[in-house]
Structure 1
Amino acid sequence: MNVRRLIPTTAVAGAVTLGLLTLSACGGTSGAADKASDGKLSVVTSFYPMQYLAEQIGGDHVSVDTLTEPGVEPHDLELKPRQIGELGEADYILYLKGVQPAVDEAIKQAGVKHTVDAATLTTLEEHGTEAGHDHAGETAEEHSAHEGEAHADEHGHASEAGADPHIWLDPVKYAEVAKGVGASLQKADPDHAADYQKNTDALVKKLGDLDTAFESGLKNATTRTFITTHSAFGYLAERYGLEQEGITGIDPESEPSPARIKELQETAKKDKVTTVFFETLASDKTARTLASDTGLKTDVLDPLEGITDTSKGDDYIEVMRSNLAALKTALGAK
């Protein structure tokens, strides 16, 4: 995955050293280091999708800090020395490798025993500007069958370079991750294992209900193709038999070529696309220009990399249901 404004490894390593020296000299700072004193498991998460899992599953037994503040595009995150230093004081770290290289390096340096990479808890796949092969005319069931074959071919290759990390946008994959997180929290804090299991089961049920809502809501649609700013929705598209057409690839910062714009214009006409989606934390300029040039509507499809005051919902479930409503309207689903 090409990610924006990466911090060189040497710079991150230097910041790690500085952060640890600062922590030692001051005897600790506010945040993760202080929260162990309240008897709760001190948890640090990388960005919102990981924070949501930790809070939902950890419940009253955890104190959760997240490295990415609301409104900050996760790929752009630059860690402060204080944050890096506090990583080493956490009881448990939950992150998603491949989204934030600066975070990946800092977590590696922190050396916390209970460190969980969510990417290892499910199977990652390759996605580009399109979600997959041409499945025109297929039913959702037929598409799912092909998807299953593709998954079988890719099993065991979760760590391949270039894999799409946007697993949280597929409720089924997100539920797989939730189960893994629940199990790892039980190991980190066995005294509260029963509560972690109970909370995991409750979250998995909510995600199952969300999956059912998407499956039934998108079953009968006029078109199965949608255009979005960057290709964050490949897993969701494959899950529900849709075709994602990203203006850019996995990297939201990359600029589309004139050839890609022409291709999207042709696709929009051929597949009766009605809407170009943009997102909340990235520029909507290209999406609005494409929509204007092709006479299409615009709407928000939120990749849920963070919750802000402008998000269409207060948490993951609410925003995902807003995404479903937007897709149903755009695709003409009955």
Structure 2
Amino acid sequence: MRYSIIALLLILSAPLSARTLVASVEPVAMVLRDLYGDSAQVETLLAPNQSPHNPMLSPRQMLTLRRADLVVWLGAEAEPAVADLMARREGPSVALLSLAGVTRRQGGHDHGDEDHGADDHDHGHDHMARLDPHLWLDPANMAALARGLAERDPDGLPEGQPAAFLAGLERATEAARARLAPQAGRAWLSFHNPWGYFQHRLGLREPVTVSEQLGAGPGSRRFVALADQVKTQQVHCAIAEPEAQREMLARLCPDCRRVDLDPLGRDHPGSGYGAWLDGVVAAGFQRCLAP
């Protein structure tokens, strides 16, 4: 009898299990960690070795998505591969694109002024502008997410949130802007440029972009035109995302300083968003653009 009472007391005194929150991509998970702290267990749907452009989700990932107490994702237009699974989910979810104040950018459209010959076509181009899905690279969008979660999940956020997150995000954004201000006008090279939201929010100039599509390199005429741009604009910086064709970047700009940056933060799992934005992304651009 005594042991039964002790066991009951242990059960009653044990902390309630934290809710499980699932974010579709790592930077959104960073925001959730900042907001919820120890009050929730945050998981990222995509594994570090998975590309968000065409993910093949495992049965375990599908189960994780189905069992989560809350799923935070970008929305069907940005993540069509996740949309079908979300349509079959019964639990609560928050889509970034459904929230007020979210900045949307168009990206990935065809180069209408390019003269592609038979060997110069950049395969895979769409002829209609579409949404740039890298919404998390605009800190203002992550602020909109925090405010949206305060409305959609008011009882789930710890005391003091989202005010503490928003204040920290503002400090990180200003630190990143100050870090990059001296190099804001410098030219840079990108393979398919997933950085549009970041560059516009932080005041960087448009890069020389090799291809609008992953896996599609330039034909001979476009290569010559790109090499001329690199020379004319005095490009000395190449930002390489994991999917970039590094040999192609080296051929276009052999004297470029190359900095590897993952726009999805897959190489910094467990980080907070503000620290990643300033200490990793902005710091990487600063190293690359430095004289």
Q: Calculate the TM-score normalised by the size of structure 2.
A: 0.75
Query: Could you say if the C-alpha distance between residues 91 and 272 of structure 1 is closer, same or farther in structure 2, counting changes exceeding 3 Å?
Result: same
1:243 alignment partner in structure 2 = 206
Question: Which residue of the other structure, out of 269, 274, 290, is the alignment partner of 2:231?
Answer: 269
Question: Match of 2:283, as an amino acid?
Answer: A
Shift of 1:99: 4.5
Question: Match of 2:262, as an amino acid?
Answer: D
Question: Match of 2:80, as an amino acid?
Answer: P
The 8 Å contact of residues 167 and 173 in structure 1, kept in 2 or not, is answered as yes
Query: Could you say if the C-alpha distance between residues 83 and 325 of structure 1 is closer, same or farther in structure 2, counting changes exceeding 3 Å?
Result: closer
- Residue 84 (structure 1) aligned with residue 62 (structure 2): yes
2:107 alignment partner in structure 1 = 127
Matched residues, number: 255
The 8 Å contact of residues 227 and 253 in structure 2, kept in 1 or not, is answered as no
Question: Which has more radius of gyration?
Answer: 2
Distance in 2, Cα, partners of 1:182 & 1:307: 29
Decide which structure has greater helix share.
1
Question: Which residue of the other structure, out of 68, 80, 98, is the alignment partner of 1:101?
Answer: 80
2:257 alignment partner in structure 1 = 297
- Residue 67 (structure 1) aligned with residue 67 (structure 2): no
Distance in 2, Cα, partners of 1:60 & 1:227: 40
Distance in 1, Cα, partners of 2:225 & 2:142: 32
Question: Which residue of the other structure, out of 31, 34, 54, is the alignment partner of 1:56?
Answer: 34
Query: Could you say if the C-alpha distance between residues 219 and 282 of structure 1 is closer, same or farther in structure 2, counting changes exceeding 3 Å?
Result: closer
Which residues of structure 1 form unaligned runs of 5+? 1-36, 131-159
Distance in 1, Cα, partners of 2:289 & 2:244: 23
Question: Match of 1:322, as an amino acid?
Answer: V
1:163 alignment partner in structure 2 = 131
1:327 alignment partner in structure 2 = 285
Shift of 1:161: 7.1
1:141 alignment partner in structure 2 = none
2:148 alignment partner in structure 1 = 180
Shift of 1:262: 2.7
Cα offsets for 1:174-202 (capped at 9, x unmatched): 2222222333221xxx2x45x26x23222
Query: Could you say if the C-alpha distance between residues 316 and 302 of structure 1 is closer, same or farther in structure 2, counting changes exceeding 3 Å?
Result: farther
Shift of 1:93: 0.8
1:118 alignment partner in structure 2 = 96
Distance in 1, Cα, partners of 2:215 & 2:223: 16
Task: Say which SS state the counterpart of residue 68 (structure 1) adopts.
Answer: coil
1:220 alignment partner in structure 2 = 182
RMSD: 2.9
Shift of 1:281: 5.4
Cα offsets for 1:104-126 (capped at 9, x unmatched): 211112132x2111123312111
Shift of 1:283: 4.7
Q: Calculate the TM-score normalised by the size of structure 1.
A: 0.66
Query: Could you say if the C-alpha distance between residues 104 and 270 of structure 1 is closer, same or farther in structure 2, counting changes exceeding 3 Å?
Result: same
Question: Match of 2:246, as an amino acid?
Answer: D
Determine what percentage of the aligned residue pairs are the same residue.
25
Question: Match of 1:230, as an amino acid?
Answer: H
User: Equivalences for 1:131-150 in 2 at 5 Å?
Assistant: none
The 8 Å contact of residues 172 and 275 in structure 2, kept in 1 or not, is answered as no
Task: Say which SS state the counterpart of residue 207 (structure 2) adopts.
Answer: strand
